[in-house]
């Protein structure tokens, strides 16, 4: 955490990367930090503003192809997100935001350069992946199954430096086999929804990475019930 012990949550380019309720991820982190008495500062950085490098958690949402390629160009030119990652900041990225963390991705039929923060690249799939997604999360992360909603045309291929976030049990995710990726404190997923409302344990993982400490438990009866309902519904 930063010097005044405030957790700085940075919502990256809400004017470009904020589809399907991804902003809810910011609200969930803010809420779950507040329930633990952690002072939080939420910083929304539009694409015409410099990216601060002293944030603790950076959130990138989904976006259509045009805004996605513009966001990647601006983040590369700005350099603030790279500086933040170099100092150990946490990054949580969804769909378009996830794809642009890799080496390359496709937008409007053109191959675009990514930010090279995760060892992966994305191309286009034969169909658009739309619908519920579920998967068993990498046991090293110690989390219950992931559930969410996906809507993307891209397919993502992981290199040896990126670990799959989950093994897909419903939906497509990266390629029909795995979903999302993580390495160090950078984590990406195809799960919209917002993902952290549906997967509060994932929100707490990001908070633990950022604070370096244990977190008091929260009564998650309702999100747990939603997870069980969705897993049962998609298993039919
Ligand atoms: N434009 C990207 C794709 O279709 C990302 C879409 C999204 O963020 N939902 O693959």
Sign of torsion over alpha carbons 13, 87, 39, 59: positive
Q: How far apart are CA 155 and CA 182, in angstroms?
A: 16
* Residue span of the structural domain in which 66 resides: 7-235
Does residue 115 lie within any of the structural domains?
yes
Q: Ligand 1: does its nearest atom lie under 6 Å from the Cβ of 152?
A: yes
Number of domain units in the chain: 1
Q: If you search the block for the tokens 């969930």, which residue do you land on?
A: 28
pLDDT tens digits in sequence order for the chain, 236 residues long: 654 689 999 999 999 998 888 899 999 999 999 999 999 999 999 999 999 999 999 999 999 999 999 999 999 999 999 999 999 999 999 999 999 999 999 999 999 999 999 999 999 999 999 999 999 999 999 999 999 999 999 999 999 999 999 999 999 999 999 999 999 999 999 998 789 999 999 999 999 999 998 999 999 999 899 889 988 988 86
- Known binding-site residue numbers: 128
Q: β-strand 40-45 against 90-94: which pairing, if any?
A: unpaired
Tell me whether residue 112 is one of the annotated catalytic residues.
no
Residue 87 CB neighbour total at 10 angstroms: 9
Q: How far is the CA of 130 from the centre of ligand 1 (A)?
A: 11
Tell me whether residue 121 is one of the annotated catalytic residues.
no
Does residue 1 lie within any of the structural domains?
no
What's the confidence (pLDDT) of residue 72?
98
Residue 20 belongs to domain with CATH number: 3.40.50.880
Does residue 118 lie within any of the structural domains?
yes
Judge if the upstream peptide bond of residue 194 is cis by omega within 30 degrees of 0.
yes
Does residue 2 lie within any of the structural domains?
no
Q: How far is the CA of 187 from the centre of ligand 1 (A)?
A: 17
Closest atom of ligand 1 to 63 CA is 8
| Residue 119 CB-density burial (10 A; 0-12 exposed, 13-18 middle, 19+ buried) | middle
What's the confidence (pLDDT) of residue 3?
47
């Amino acid at each position: 955490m930063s010097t005044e012990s405030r957790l700085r949550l940075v919502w990256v380019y809400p004017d470009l990367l904020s589809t399907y309720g991804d902003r809810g991820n910011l609200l969930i982190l803010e809420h779950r930090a507040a329930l633990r008495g952690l002072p939080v500062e939420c910083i929304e950085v539009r694409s015409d503003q410099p990216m601060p490098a002293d944030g603790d958690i950076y959130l990138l949402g989904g976006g259509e192809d045009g805004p996605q390629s513009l966001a990647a160009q601006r983040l590369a030119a700005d350099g603030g997100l790279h500086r933040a990652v170099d100092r150990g900041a946490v990054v949580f990225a969804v769909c378009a935001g996830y794809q642009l963390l890799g080496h390359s991705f496709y937008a409007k039929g053109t191959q675009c350069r990514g930010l090279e923060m995760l060892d992966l690249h994305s191309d286009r799939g034969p169909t658009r992946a739309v619908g519920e997604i579920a998967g068993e999360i990498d046991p090293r992360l110690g989390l219950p199954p992931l559930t969410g909603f996906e809507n993307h045309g891209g397919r993502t291929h992981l290199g040896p430096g990126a670990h799959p976030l989950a093994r897909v049990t419903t939906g497509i995710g990266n390629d029909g086999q795995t979903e999302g990726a993580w390495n160090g404190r950078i984590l990406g997923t195809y799960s919209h929804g917002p993902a952290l409302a549906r997967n509060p344990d994932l929100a707490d993982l990001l908070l633990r990475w950022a604070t370096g400490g244990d977190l008091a438990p929260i009564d998650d009866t309702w999100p747990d019930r939603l997870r069980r309902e969705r897993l049962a519904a998609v298993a039919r």
